[in-house]
């Protein structure tokens, strides 16, 4: 789609889960949404994380992980604690860490 097309036909951004919910509603309403699908852009789900401001010696960022206050640690992304909002993540930052929003695959 070129720039003129995108101005005439603006894209709607939604996550895959949002699109799936919309699609079910449109199917149940027996609505032909084939043209509508062309205007939808699927974007990745995103969550907030607390990570180190600088990568470690191996060039990996360390992420806040753990399930409770007794279990907190900084590990690789695979074990990161995810937050729904920036405000929730910022409560856990310190001078060496920052809140960042990153795409996540399925939960």
Q: Are residues 51 and 85 in the same domain?
A: yes
Total domains in the fold of the chain: 2
The values of phi and psi at residue 17, to 5°, are -65, -40
Same domain, yes or no: 36 and 49: no
90 and 61 within one domain? yes
User: Does one domain contain both 11 and 58?
Assistant: no
pLDDT category at 84 given cuts 50, 70, 90 is very high
Percent of the chain with pLDDT over 70: 85
pLDDT, tens only, 24-58: 888 888 878 777 788 888 888 899 999 999 998 88
Pair 38, 88 in one domain: no
For the sheet with 73-75, list strands across it: 73-75, 63-65, 45-52, 97-104
Q: What percent of the chain has pLDDT over 90?
A: 30
Give the largest Cα separation in the chain, rounded.
Answer: 57
Question: Domain range spanning residue 66?
Answer: 45-104
How large is the average pLDDT for residues 67-85?
78
What is the chain's mean pLDDT, rounded?
A: 83
| pTM greater than the 0.75 cutoff | no
């Amino acid at each position: 789609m070129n720039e003129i097309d995108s101005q005439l036909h603006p894209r709607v951004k939604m996550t895959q889960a949002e699109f799936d919910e919309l699609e079910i509603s449109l199917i149940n309403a027996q609505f032909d949404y084939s043209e509508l699908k062309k205007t939808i852009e699927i974007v990745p789900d995103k969550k907030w994380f607390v990570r180190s401001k600088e990568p470690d010696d191996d060039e990996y960022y360390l992420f806040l992980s753990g399930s409770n206050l007794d279990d907190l640690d900084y590990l690789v992304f695979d074990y990161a604690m995810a937050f729904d909002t920036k405000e929730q993540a910022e409560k856990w930052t310190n001078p060496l860490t920052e809140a960042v929003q990153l795409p996540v695959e399925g939960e």
